[in-house]
Amino acid sequence: MLTLFVFSMKYNKKLAPLLVKYKIYKNELINEINKIYKKYTKDGKFVITSNSLNRELKKIEPTIFKISNGLYEQEKNILPIILYLVNDEVYGKTYNILNKDSKDFKNMSKEEINKITTGFKISGKTNLQRIKDNKTIFNSKLNKDIKNSLKESKTIEDTKALIEDRFEKEMKIAMRLTNNEIARVYNATADVLYKQNGVRRVQWISQLEQNTCGECADLDQEIFDIEDAPIPIISTHTSCHCILVPID
């Protein structure tokens, strides 16, 4: 099997349409901000009254909502596709490892796949619900960023930088969630097959690098009865690249 880090990098490429969307929407919003600054800049100074500010903020709210909702729809559509592909590849390769001489390949049921990919809950929420929450927060913060920047009469350069920073942070949140879910589905799919095929013990394999946490470093090479084994991410932390491999 590919190491989980390499595996994640492989499927990260599927996020390309989403990243393009971030760039398009960011430029669209900055164009709207340019119009506001052009309208209220006189003699090189940006001056806007309270009434005018409220009016401009009301006008730009639908654009910000369209952006946050558009990003939500794009991410909501892409993530399940990525996770189904991860499940399919891990299932096929793990099945072949555990059943080298078997010609009777059995597919995982649709219900099992959905339970692993988009039905699993962390802190009571599925990955798609967390995407929705993230974009709701993004919408609120973007509105607040723009309101405060215009209210404080910051330069157009400062406001643009603020918007770019907000989009960059949200893009990283989306990528982190995707990577986390890739790792979770990777391990969950393997775990189902281990139990179906009577694997009794598994070994924890950590990706040892400079920023490996102490918890995962301590678990590296540890062997567990499969029913007692900690599960990467679920039992450790987000962005965990550790895996469990079958021993016997």
- The pTM (predicted TM-score) of the whole model is 0.90
Task: Using CA atoms of 154, 155, 157, 163 in order, give the dihedral in degrees to the nearest 10.
Answer: 30
Those residues whose C-beta lies under 8 Å from the C-beta of residue 145, and which sit 6 or more positions away, are 162, 163, 166
Residue pLDDT, tens place only, 119-134: 999 889 999 999 999 9
What is the per-residue pLDDT for 242?
87
When pLDDT is averaged across residues 156-164 and rounded to a whole number, the result is: 97
Going by C-alpha positions, the residue among 217, 142, 134, 206 that lies closest to residue 177 is 134
Residue pLDDT, tens place only, 26-75: 999 999 999 999 999 998 899 999 999 999 999 999 999 999 999 999 99
The H or E element spanning position 224 is: strand 223-225
Residue pLDDT, tens place only, 172-186: 999 999 999 999 999
The ranges assigned to domains in the chain are 4-198, 200-248
What is the per-residue pLDDT for 112?
93
Of 73-87, 137-151, 207-221, which range is least confident?
207-221
Side chain identity, residue 146: I
44 C-beta neighbours (distance < 10 Å), count: 5
Share of the chain above pLDDT 70, in %: 95
What is the per-residue pLDDT for 100?
77
When pLDDT is averaged across residues 9-23 and rounded to a whole number, the result is: 91
Going by C-alpha positions, the residue among 204, 208, 206 that lies closest to residue 228 is 204
